[in-house]
Amino acid sequence: MAARYYIGTSGWHYDHWQEKFYPNGLPKSRWLEFYSSHYSTVELNNSFYHLPSEKAFTNWKNSSPSEFVFSVKVSRFITHIKRLKNAVEPLANFVSRARLLDGKLGPLLYQLPHNMKYDDQTLESFLGILPRDVPHVFEFRHNSWFDDRIFNLLRRYNVGFCIYDMPGFRTPVVTTSDFSYIRFHGSHCLYSSCYSSEELENWAQMLKELDVNKIYAYFNNDVEGFAIRNALDLMNLLKLIR
């Protein structure tokens, strides 16, 4: 069975997307409604800096189509300050808030800090407290994590490994769960360069070869609206490949 694709951008509330994407005169309160008429998913990343209110989550749920999916970046308090330790209470608080998205809740993304090195014991302890009814995915920023022992550990818990691409570096293209999660941080300049047609064609082919049920892919190169264009181009390319 072919995988289901959810292709979008990391965030949607960018002032510099006005005119490039959002029509002039469209109030910001309707930006999500407009965005979700073009894309099937978005990655919430303001949740990394502060926990959005219950009202915010409810409004997002009510302002998007029934099949729309929100992936949610987990609070840096859990990943960068607590560094996955003694995190039972803050994790429960975060997950309970994210659950307000109901059936529109996609994977919870845990981006670990650049200076957090391989620590399988801490990771496994944290994996043990994750609710099993919500998909989870880890983005490792230190190279020491790219290890078969970590991949196998994630597989035991059916937790995703975040594949990502940034200038001069690409993670291993590995699957550890029944879904894949990919982040595009920019091809030549971090967060601010456009992917070429050839680069996107190569990625589309790689995504087609992944043996998973669902694929989530987000473009984080928001400068100049490159993310909007690249997400649309990737969606169209995936339709062409059989």
Surface-to-core class of residue 147, CB atoms within 10 Å of its CB (0-12 exposed, 13-18 middle, 19+ buried): middle
Tens digits of residue pLDDT in 18-54: 989 999 999 999 999 999 999 999 999 999 999 999 9
202-216 average pLDDT score: 96
134-150 average pLDDT score: 98
Interacting residues of 235 by C-beta distance below 8 A, sequence separation 6+: 5, 7, 39
What percent of the chain is modeled with pLDDT above 70? 99
pLDDT given at position 89 = 98
pLDDT at residue 69 greater than cutoff 70: yes
d(C-alpha 161, C-alpha 163), whole Å: 6
pLDDT given at position 177 = 98
Q: Which of 110, 237, 220 is nearest to 166 (CA)?
A: 220
What is the reported pTM? 0.96
Surface-to-core class of residue 221, CB atoms within 10 Å of its CB (0-12 exposed, 13-18 middle, 19+ buried): buried
pLDDT at residue 242 greater than cutoff 90: no
d(C-alpha 234, C-alpha 154), whole Å: 27
pLDDT given at position 1 = 59
Residue 94's Cβ-side half-sphere holds a number of Cα atoms within 13 Å equal to 26
d(C-alpha 144, C-alpha 137), whole Å: 17
d(C-alpha 196, C-alpha 193), whole Å: 9
Beta-strand relationship, 169-170 and 160-166:
antiparallel
User: And the tokens for 176?
Assistant: 């550890």
Q: Which domain holds residue 99?
A: 4-240
> What's the residue count for the chain?
242
What is the 3-state composition of the chain as percent helix, strand, coil, each rounded to the nearest 5? Answer: 40, 20, 40
Question: CA dist 149 to 119, 146, 195, 206, 234, Å?
Answer: 11, 9, 32, 23, 32
- The domain spanning residue 192 has which CATH number? 3.20.20.410
Band the pLDDT of 188: cuts 50, 70, 90: confident
pLDDT given at position 240 = 85
What is the enclosing helix (H) or strand (E) of 139? strand 136-139
Domain count within the chain: 1
